[in-house]
Structure formats: structure tokens, C-alpha cells
Amino acid sequence: MKPDRFWLTDAQFTRIAPHLLTDTRGKPPVADRRVISGIVHVLKSGGHWIDAPPDYGPCKTLYNRYVRWAAKGVWGDLFHALASADGPPARVLIDSSAVKAQPLGLGRKRGSATKPSAALAAGARPRSTR
């Protein structure tokens, strides 16, 4: 294992193992621990599936298993199993992001802020000819 790679610990994998799908057909599957570690690595790094290190298994396997488990709700079960490992947390942090609105998103009208008075506009030369 290289230091820049993510691997599930024995305790983490033991906790989530009962929630993994076991209905496989065809070729023997790549070990779940390798695949989950690879999926977490790709998601944490923000990279592409094709750029996943080969230590985790084929990139197509990582992607297919991620999508299949997402459709079946496995990721939610794994998250809850890991999150509830030590009981309820002493502190809960909420992450938020601030998004600045564009000036037009604040309800301001488009165009110039000041309008010419009607009196000035009436005495002015026409802007177009008919």
C-alpha cells in the first residue's frame, strides 16, 4: 500500500461487510475492500475513474460497482454503518457555502440606473427616422 492511497481499515470493513451485496454472477468479483477503497480514493481526489490507480482494480469495475450500489441504496447503508460506529457524535458540524448573487440577481432592473426626464426626451432630436 502506498501512502497516498486510501484503504479501509479492518475495523471499518468489518462494520460494513454485512451491508454489501453478495449476488454476483459470472467471473469472480474483485474484492469489495479493494473496490470500496478505490471508489473512495476517486471521489476524494476528484479525478476520473480512468485515473484510479490499478491497486484498486479495473477502473470499469470501480465505476460499475459505484453506480450499481448507488441504484440499490448500498452507499446510504454503508454511511450509516460507519457513522454510527461509536454512538451518537458529541458534536455535529454543518458545512455551508456562501454564494454571491450577481447584481441582476438582486432584483435590480436592467439598463442604466437613471432615466432621462420626459421633458428632456420630448425636446430632444429623434433617435431614428421613419
What amino acid is encoded at 80 in this protein? H
Task: Please tell me whether the overall predicted TM-score, pTM, comes out greater than 0.75 for this model.
Answer: no
Q: Can you tell me the distance from the alpha carbon of 110 to that of 103, in angstroms, rounded to the nearest whole number? A: 9
pLDDT < 50 stretches in the chain: none
| Cα torsion 74, 69, 11, 50: sign | negative
At residue 13, the pLDDT reads 83
What is the C-alpha separation between 16 and 11, in angstroms, rounded? 9
Residue 118: CA count within 13 A, CB half-sphere: 0
Q: Per residue in 48-81, pLDDT tens?
A: 999 999 889 999 999 999 999 899 998 888 888 8
Domain range summary for the chain, segments of one domain joined by +:
31-87
pLDDT score, position 58: 92
- Identify the residue whose cell numbers are 454485512: 18
